[in-house]
Amino acid sequence: MTHARRTSTRLADGRELIYFDDSEPYVSSGATRRLDDPRPLGPRFAPDGPAAGPEMRRDPLTGDWIPMASHRMNRTFLPAADACPLCPARRGSTGTEYSDGEIPDTDYDVAVFENRFPALLDVPGLGHETTLVDGEPLWPSRPAAGRCEVVCFSSRHEASFADLSPRRARTIIEAWADRTAELSRVPGVRQVFPFENRGREIGVTLPHPHGQIYALPYLPPRTGAMLREAARYRERTGGSLLADVLAAELRAGTRVVLESEHWVAYVPAAARWPVEVHLAPRADVPDFAGLNDAERDDLAHVYPTLLRRLDRFFVDPATGEPIPLPYIAGWHQAVVGEGRELGRLHLQLFSVLRAPGKLKYLAGIESGLAAWISDTTPERIAARLQELGREDAAAGPSSAADTRTAAHDTTEEPTR
């Protein structure tokens, strides 16, 4: 890695923790983050044999696999800021004070660790065999043997991805690429999905700026549907569905909201959420690991720019102040194994906020039948984002996506 230093260690219970450093003296190996975890945690897995882990069962009516992780019922929920498990360790007069935090150092740039309360977990020695619930062939079950990781974007509790400098965003992209490559090599993994949930309206349980990465041992419904459509499209036309969708949006131009040398953001023609935007590379790239340096550098500017515009999408009518957008940002990547040639890296970012103080709740037909009804039109969403882009341009070059500035997070070093 040329843009960040990668340092791996183990937490007290055996989970992996990886520091990704872009600041001195760490990036040049002049110093190393704290690698020992002083917490009195017991081992994650039973030393004398396989432990129980989450299972998943197949729904015979839809073919969907449903992980069942009952241990997550008691996971951490909206802790006080001074008890946040993603904040750096605190330092007192006698050294680092004990806390139940997941990162033992008193500071970090970007950190990735295995989730303490995972929905997917590969238990050593447990195997991946299929069994039958109640002995019935209709209900196959097997261990939910995947991996769930947490990606901490910043050590600052009140930060957000939109606040980060391009340099720090680039480090996160390096972490996504590193984890995508490594997790894709894990036997049984079919999809690697980096994502971020932000905002209480979304259901976030930890407000510290962070995302997650799931390495799934099955193809979830949306991925399966996209692969089926891409396969039918290729058989019918010989083309790549995701590449041709991007080309069509560029030809139309009406829903394109941001462009750079390597990336295009657009509101999809069949957007279903009150706010929805997709971001895709111009080149055919399967996943983060396949991005070259120029594409990664460009994304480190484009993505925060897009997030900052989305944070101004809604304005509080009483104060005139922008409303930080609650959102889910999920990076779809080519699957591992069969169907990989049909995939293409792209972001789907959407919000449940349909107006200031108003959320989109799924109606009965949407929840019961997955039959979506949009509360707006894609063109209206795009028009608002295009308006914000023109405001950025009028404000000066420091607001444009291609200016390569590092403003917003003044606590970090300037971009290289």
Tens-place pLDDT, residues 94-103: 445 546 789 9
- Reported as a pLDDT band with limits 50, 70 and 90, residue 258 is very high
Residue with tokens 């619930």: 133
Note the pLDDT of residue 1: 61
Reference 56, options 149, 147, 133, 126; nearest CA is: 133
Residue with tokens 């594409």: 295
Assess contact for 143 and 124: CB atoms under 8 A.
no
Q: What is the pLDDT of residues 101-116, one digit of tens each?
A: 899 999 999 999 999 9
Rounded Cα distance, 322 and 337, in Å: 44
- Reported as a pLDDT band with limits 50, 70 and 90, residue 74 is low
pTM: 0.92
Give ∠ CA 57-59-62 in degrees, rounded to 5: 145
Rounded Cα distance, 198 and 111, in Å: 18
Return mean pLDDT, the chain: 90
Mean pLDDT of 244-264: 98
Note the pLDDT of residue 377: 97
pLDDT at 405 over 70: no
Q: What is the pLDDT of residues 156-209, one digit of tens each?
A: 999 999 999 999 999 999 999 999 999 999 999 999 999 999 999 988 888 899
**Residue-range domains of the chain with CATH:** 5-41+52-216 (3.30.428.10), 221-399 (3.30.428.10)
- Reported as a pLDDT band with limits 50, 70 and 90, residue 91 is low
Backbone phi, psi, residue 214, to 5°: -105, 130
Query: Is-catalytic flag, 301?
Result: no
Q: Is 16 strand, coil or helix?
A: strand
Assess contact for 96 and 87: CB atoms under 8 A.
no
What 251-257 contacts at long range (C-beta under 8 Å, 24+ apart), as own/partner pairs, is 254/379, 254/382, 255/378, 255/379, 255/381, 255/382, 256/382, 257/306, 257/309, 257/382, 257/385, 257/386, 257/389
Note the pLDDT of residue 76: 61
Note the pLDDT of residue 404: 33
Reference 375, options 278, 270, 272; nearest CA is: 272
Reference 291, options 318, 262, 312; nearest CA is: 262
Which has more confidence, 128 or 10?
A: 10
Reference 330, options 229, 206, 202; nearest CA is: 202
Residue of 208, 210, 301, 332 with catalytic role: 210
- Reported as a pLDDT band with limits 50, 70 and 90, residue 414 is very low
Rounded Cα distance, 163 and 166, in Å: 10
Neighbours of 181 (CB within 10 A): 14
Of all residues in the chain, the percent with pLDDT exceeding 90 is 77
Note the pLDDT of residue 407: 33
pLDDT at 90 over 80: no
